[in-house]
Every structure is written in C-alpha cells, then in structure tokens.
Amino acid sequence: MSSVYTAVATATGDGRNGRARSSDGVIDVDLAIPKEMGGTGGATNPEQLFAAGYAACFLSALKLVARQQQAPIVDAGVTAEVGIGPNGEGGFGLEVALHVELGGVEQAVAERLVEAAHQVCPYSNATRGNVPVTLETTVA
C-alpha cells in the first residue's frame, strides 16, 4: 500500500490520563479514564476518539458507494458505539456497533449500500477479523 496521507498524533501523561495532540495542532485534547472504568471522566478518551473517527470515515465510504451506485441518499448519518472490556486473555478488546440512518432509498437498497460501505471503509477493513462490528441500517 502506498499512503496518500499519514496522520500523526502523540499521547503524553500516563496514557489514559494525559493529553493527545496531532502534529498540526488541530487536535489537542485532555484525556481521562471514563467514570465507568473507575476514572474521573471529564475529558475525552481513546474510545470516543475512535468512535468519532470510525463514524466519519464510514459516512464518507457510504457517500462514495452511493455515488458509485447512483443511489440518491439524503440526510445520512452514522453513529458509532465503541465498547471496551476484558478480552478473556488478560487484556482488553473492543466491540463496535454502527447505526446508519439515511433517506432517499428503500430499506433493501440502504442495507446493500451499508454492506458495500463496510467493504470500502478503512476502519472496517482494519477491524475486520479483530473487532466484532455490527451494522444497523434505518431508513428515515
């Protein structure tokens, strides 16, 4: 693979409690362990950042696939839920649920587009076989 863009970010502090900053300074956020995991909360965390990135990337892939298939989708949105928990091997794992809502097409077409986007999206390709991802498609 030949990269056309490389994102660079650095985390400092003690990992989940600290800061994350992109090399261009566009992202510069405090990090905190969520209250649900015994932390103080009050700042973002890696799972939220991953969810935002996955949702945005999947929406872009969906729009690309819809254009390629000349499907007139409207008002599309993707919500990503990223869960973290013990993986049973002494570490932690992730699980993802993608909730896709779109209009302009019938349910069967919407589901076909979402499945096609799942094959195109770089996040989906990176997680495939490593992270369980469920897809839910709703036509508004």
Q: What digits encode the pLDDT tens for the residues 106-126?
A: 999 999 999 999 999 999 999
One domain for residues 88 and 118: yes
One domain for residues 35 and 50: no
Exposed, middle or buried: residue 44 (CB in 10 Å: 0-12, 13-18, 19+)? Answer: middle
One domain for residues 106 and 51: yes
45-83 pLDDT, tens per residue?
Answer: 999 999 999 999 999 999 999 999 999 999 999 999 999
One domain for residues 59 and 87: yes
Domain count, the chain: 2
Exposed, middle or buried: residue 96 (CB in 10 Å: 0-12, 13-18, 19+)? Answer: buried
Residue 59 CB partners (closer than 8 Å, separation 6+): 76, 77, 78
Output the pLDDT for position 15: 72
Q: Which amino acid is at 12?
A: T
As a whole number of angstroms, the distance between CA 127 and CA 138 comes to: 23
What is the pLDDT averaged over residues 3-25?
A: 94
CA 129: distance to chain centroid? 16
Mean pLDDT of all residues belonging to the chain: 96
One domain for residues 101 and 88: yes
What is the pLDDT averaged over residues 80-88?
A: 96
As a whole number of angstroms, the distance between CA 78 and CA 117 comes to: 12
CA nearest to 103, candidates 68, 61, 66, 49:
66
Output the pLDDT for position 1: 85
One domain for residues 116 and 92: yes
**What's the length of the chain?**
140
One domain for residues 32 and 3: yes
One domain for residues 68 and 39: no
Judge whether residue 16 has pLDDT over 90: no
CATH number of the domain that 15 lies in?
2.20.25.10
As a whole number of angstroms, the distance between CA 100 and CA 40 comes to: 31
Q: Which two tokens stand for residue 131?
A: 């992270």
CATH number of the domain that 135 lies in?
3.30.300.20
Domain that holds residue 55: 46-139
One domain for residues 133 and 72: yes
Residue 17 is inside which H or E element, if any? none
